[in-house]
Structure 1
Amino acid sequence: MQFIDRTTIMVKAGDGGHGKSAFRREKFVPKGGPSGGDGGRGADVIFVVDPNLNTLLDFRYHRKFKGENGENGDIKNQYGANAPHCIVKVPPGTIVKDADTGEVIADLTEIGQQAVVAKGGRGGRGNAKFASSRNRTPSFAELGEPGESKTLLLELKLLADVGLVGYPSVGKSSLITCVSAARPEIAEYHFTTITPVLGVVRVDDEKSFVMADIPGLIEGAADGAGLGHDFLRHVERTKVILHIVDASGIEGRDPVEDYHRINQELKKYSERIARRPQILVANKMDLPGAEENLERLKKLAEEEHIPIFAVSAAAHTGLKELLQKTVELLDNYVEEPEQTEEEKVYDADKMEDPDKITITRNDRGDFIVHGKALEKLVAMTNFGNDEALRRFQYIWRMKGLDARLKKRGIQEGNTVRIGEMEFEFRE
Structure 2
Amino acid sequence: MTEGNFVDYTKVHIESGRGGKGSTHLHREKYIDKGGPDGGDGGRGGHIIIKGNKNLWTLYHFKYQRHFKAAQGGNGAKQRRTGEDGDDIYLELPLGTVIRNTETGQIIHEVLEDGDEFIIAEGGMGGKGNWHFKSSTRQTPRYAQPGTEGEALEVTFELKILADVGLVGFPNAGKSTLLSVLTAAKPKIANYEFTTLKPNLGIVEYRDFQTFVIADIPGIIEGAAEGKGIGHRFLRHIERNSTLLFMIPADADDINEQYQILLHELRKYNPEMLDKERFVAISKSDMLDEELMGEIKEHLDNEGAFDGAPYMFISAITQHNMQQLKDRLWQMLNE
TM-score, scaled relative to structure 1: 0.75
* Match among 2, 9, 12 for residue 6 of structure 1: 9
- Cα distance in 1 for partners of 2:55, 2:181 equals 24
- Cα distance in 2 for partners of 1:62, 1:188 equals 37
CA deviations over 1:16-55 (Å, ceiling 9, x no partner): 1111111011122232111110000011000111122110
- Cα distance in 2 for partners of 1:122, 1:215 equals 47
Does the C-alpha gap of structure 1 residues 301 and 78 become closer, same or farther in structure 2, counting only changes over 3 Å?
farther
Q: For the pair shown, which has the larger CA radius of gyration, 1 or 2?
A: 1
Structure 1 match to 2:195 = 192
What amino acid is the match of 1:270?
Answer: N
Q: Does 1:267 align with 2:267?
A: yes
- Give the conservation status (yes or no) of the 8 Å contact 1:193–1:215: yes
Structure 2 match to 1:310 = 313
TM-score, scaled relative to structure 2: 0.95
Q: Aligned-residue CA RMSD in angstroms?
A: 1.4
Give every structure 1 segment of 4 or more consecutive aligned residues whose post-TM-superposition deviation is greater than 6 Å: none
Report matched runs for 1:91-240 at 5 Å: 91-240=94-243
- Cα distance in 1 for partners of 2:133, 2:113 equals 45
Aligned length: 329
Which range moves more in the overlay, 231-240 or 132-141?
A: 132-141
- Cα distance in 2 for partners of 1:190, 1:103 equals 35
3-state SS of the aligned residue for 1:286?
A: helix
- Cα distance in 1 for partners of 2:312, 2:233 equals 28
Q: Which structure has the higher relative contact order (CA within 8 Å, separation 6+)?
A: 2
- Give the conservation status (yes or no) of the 8 Å contact 2:8–2:58: yes
3-state SS of the aligned residue for 2:258?
A: helix
Q: Does 1:51 align with 2:54?
A: yes
What amino acid is the match of 2:318?
Answer: A
CA deviations over 1:50-98 (Å, ceiling 9, x no partner): 1221101111101011111111100111110112321111111111111
| Unpaired segments ≥5 residues, structure 1 | 333-427
Q: CA deviation at 1:110?
A: 0.7
CA deviations over 1:368-424 (Å, ceiling 9, x no partner): xxxxxxxxxxxxxxxxxxxxxxxxxxxxxxxxxxxxxxxxxxxxxxxxxxxxxxxxx
What amino acid is the match of 1:327?
Answer: W
Report matched runs for 1:234-313 at 5 Å: 234-249=237-252, 253-288=253-288, 291=293, 292-299=295-302, 304-313=307-316
Which range moves more in the overlay, 294-303 or 94-103?
A: 294-303
CA deviations over 1:337-381 (Å, ceiling 9, x no partner): xxxxxxxxxxxxxxxxxxxxxxxxxxxxxxxxxxxxxxxxxxxxx
What amino acid is the match of 1:145?
Answer: T
Identity %: 40
Q: CA deviation at 1:298?
A: 3.9
3-state SS of the aligned residue for 1:78?
A: coil
Q: CA deviation at 1:280?
A: 0.9
Does the C-alpha gap of structure 1 residues 254 and 261 become closer, same or farther in structure 2, counting only changes over 3 Å?
same
- Give the conservation status (yes or no) of the 8 Å contact 1:256–1:300: no
Q: CA deviation at 1:302?
A: 5.9
- Cα distance in 1 for partners of 2:217, 2:323 equals 21
